[in-house]
């Protein structure tokens, strides 16, 4: 099995399990980036607790779903966003969210992975990784 983009796979797995109204999702493989994105989603209230399980071959992540994710996915290609872009969200990134006030863009900054709202509050730029609403 060749995994081109583990983050895309993780977000798609969460979306598919939410659409089927499952209580949990199992993400294979888990990575540091996937864990950091899940922490942001948890902090924003989109998912519940999650646990990383290492079985020797693959790292698996079991995520408790709360039924609050309407849509999530990767931002491809990964756009660079400046501090000013975090406030206004340019059109090529805004197309991922239904409204300016609804949802978050998950960004990777020099201070770690966070939501675009927190990055704007900290006056940080970064790279857009994914979206959730």
For CATH 3.30.1490.10, the residue range(s) in the chain are 75-132
Please give the angle made by the CA atoms of 61, 116 and 113, to the nearest 5 degrees.
40
> By the 8 A CB rule, do 66 and 24 touch?
no
- The phi, psi pair for 29, rounded to 5°, reads -85, 155
Question: Structure tokens of 109?
Answer: 């900054």
Strands 72-74 and 126-132 come out as antiparallel
CATH number at 75-132: 3.30.1490.10
In tens digits, the chain (133 residues) has pLDDT values of 567 899 999 999 999 999 999 999 999 989 999 999 999 999 999 999 999 998 888 889 999 999 999 999 999 899 999 999 888 888 888 899 998 889 999 999 999 999 999 999 999 999 999 999 9
Torsion sign across C-alpha atoms 114, 117, 122, 126: positive
Q: For domain 6-65, which CATH number applies: 3.30.565.10, 3.30.460.10, 3.30.1370.30, 3.30.70.20?
A: 3.30.1370.30
For CATH 3.30.1370.30, the residue range(s) in the chain are 6-65
Strands 24-27 and 59-65 come out as antiparallel
């Amino acid at each position: 099995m060749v995994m081109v983009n583990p983050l895309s796979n993780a977000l798609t797995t969460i979306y598919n399990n939410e659409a089927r109204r499952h209580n949990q999702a199992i993400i294979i493989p888990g990575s540091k980036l996937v864990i950091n994105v899940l922490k942001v989603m948890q902090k924003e209230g989109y998912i519940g607790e999650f646990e990383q399980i290492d079985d020797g071959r693959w790292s698996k992540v079991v995520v408790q779903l709360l039924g609050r994710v309407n849509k999530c996915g990767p931002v491809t290609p990964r756009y660079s966003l400046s501090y000013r872009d975090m406030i206004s969200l340019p059109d090529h990134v805004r197309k991922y969210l239904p409204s300016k006030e609804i949802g978050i863009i998950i960004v990777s900054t020099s201070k770690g992975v966070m939501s675009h709202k927190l990055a704007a509050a900290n006056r940080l730029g970064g790279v857009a990784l994914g979206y959730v609403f």
